[in-house]
Structure 1
């Protein structure tokens, strides 16, 4: 379904299926299985990308959900399926690792919503983003309505969701939908690998605690945010990673790998 390559503790996942990397039930099930594998194998980082090109030569990241599979479905079944989409993408977002995605080509609807699952987002100059759903009588149902604004702010989320306007890579960079634009797909993939290798050298327990506390703090009042940070810090102390960092401080500064051990998650 997806092409998964392991580079040490880094999983590189290439979308290359169907005509346009459309996401349907089979792909959601594959993503769910991938989440389980990433946790079981204690992956430190995840890179998602695509080099797919249409018959007309247009690069495609993900051209949306697989709406053709819904022919003959009842409205109740469609609603259940979209809820499943939301659930799976929520699992990807919460993975205790660093997720960087590279958008090369068209990212429509679900393809734009997938960016919400990433911790860092790259794009090539060919990338384009849009939420066409309100023009089809629905709303974005996999995070585009209620989560995208946390990345780009309410006015820009309103713009994307209500006008359906397609954004190019430069505009996506300007509004914060992506963090970097790379010259081409190969340069983007190397940049994603570079970031992931850097994460993989750090304490997996600390990385997971940092991400959990940061995501958990979104929208919370200051006392709750401080509580989450204190819990994450205490967890690193209690699990012994702070001691490892102190013991191997000079070696870490010299670029050597510290013996961090297995990832241990907060309760």
Structure 2
């Protein structure tokens, strides 16, 4: 890809398998290595000493969030192949403590609010987000996983929330969201003790969904899942995700009403008609000419 293609703000009329109007390329961030192919955005974490989360990395994630919200990707794969100087595999080792050492209390609170906001945006993004972890994922690294839709771990991953040992608590989802995935008892154990857990233990308690033998195997599995999603109607995928997330904690009646709204949104936007007309070619494994992403439910 030449320099003009990487940096141009032009748009192309369609993705090969969706027919949706999208930006031609993801934003060129300072720290995140991004590639887009057939609707799948691959993000390789490769910054700082240990992919730690500082202001620059946070700004990059804000730009990526905006790109995804605009329909720039149907699926996202986030991973890291980095290792420390000692050879320890890395995912995200936490926040950039060195950068924040001289911050005032107000600066700390502002930064964590930004973290919380960007993770909430990623969680609600109209795309399927898979994290592939085969390294250290501590603090913000574990919290980042909570914004993903599916999590795959390799054998060398380690997870943990060490914040209470630093006089704070997990402030970007570790306190408010972790319990809904692993249960209250396990969330209290991780947050109060700061204990680091293995890939096998993370899988057992539900923090991750699959364990594979290597990073390469995890990436292959993530690619398979991402390509499956990228061939589907972007509006239907976004409506399904929004309906599921909005149903959490609701009554049975409210959940049914949310489902009805999401379903009728797919009909009203024309996606259901496209699917009916293209039924035979979809069964044959050929992509349908889906319309552009329409994510806002009535």
- The bucket for the TM-score relative to the shorter chain is over 0.9
Q: What residue number does 1:62 align with?
A: 92
2:82 matched to 1:72? no
Distance 2:185 2:108 in 1: 29
Q: Partner residue of 1:53?
A: 83
SS in 1 for 2:108: helix
List aligned pairs for 1:1-267, cutoff 5 A.
1-267=31-297
Alpha-carbon separation, structure 2, partners of 1:124 and 1:186? 9
Q: CA deviation at 1:41?
A: 4.8
Contact 2:137 2:158 in 1 (8 A): yes
> Residues 71 and 293 of structure 2 are in contact (CA less than 8 Å); yes or no, is this contact kept in structure 1?
no
Distance 1:248 1:8 in 2: 20
In 1, Cα distance between equivalents of 2:128 and 2:89: 25
Kept after mapping to 1: 8 A contact 2:79/2:91: yes
User: Are 1:20 and 1:62, in contact at CA under 8 Å, matched by a contact in 2?
Assistant: yes
Tell me, in whole angstroms, the C-alpha distance in 1 between the residues paired with 2:37 and 2:209.
24
CA drift of 1:220 comes to: 1.4
Shift of 1:39: 3.0
Q: Distance in 1 between matches of 2:111 and 2:71?
A: 28
2:131/2:148 contact within 8 Å kept: yes
Distance of 2:171 and 2:84 partners within structure 1? 26
**1:166 CA displacement:** 1.0
Q: 1:117 aligns to what SS in structure 2?
A: coil
Give, in whole Å, the separation in 2 of the partners of 1:265 and 1:160. Answer: 35
- Find the residue that maps to 1:207 and give its secondary structure: helix
What SS is found at the alignment partner of 1:122?
A: strand
> In structure 2, how many angstroms separate the alpha carbons of the residues matched to 1:65 and 1:222?
39
CA deviation after TM superposition for structure 1 residue 266, in Å: 2.1
Contact 1:20 1:60 in 2 (8 A): yes
DSSP 3-state at the match of 1:17: coil
Q: Distance in 2 between matches of 1:224 and 1:28?
A: 35
Q: Give distance in 2, aligned partners of 1:9 and 1:111.
A: 25
TM-score, length basis structure 2: 0.88
5+ long unaligned stretches in structure 1: none
Alignment deviations for residues 45-101 of structure 1 (CA, whole Å, 9 cap, x no partner): 011000010000000000000111112211121111111110111111111000001
Distance 1:238 1:130 in 2: 44
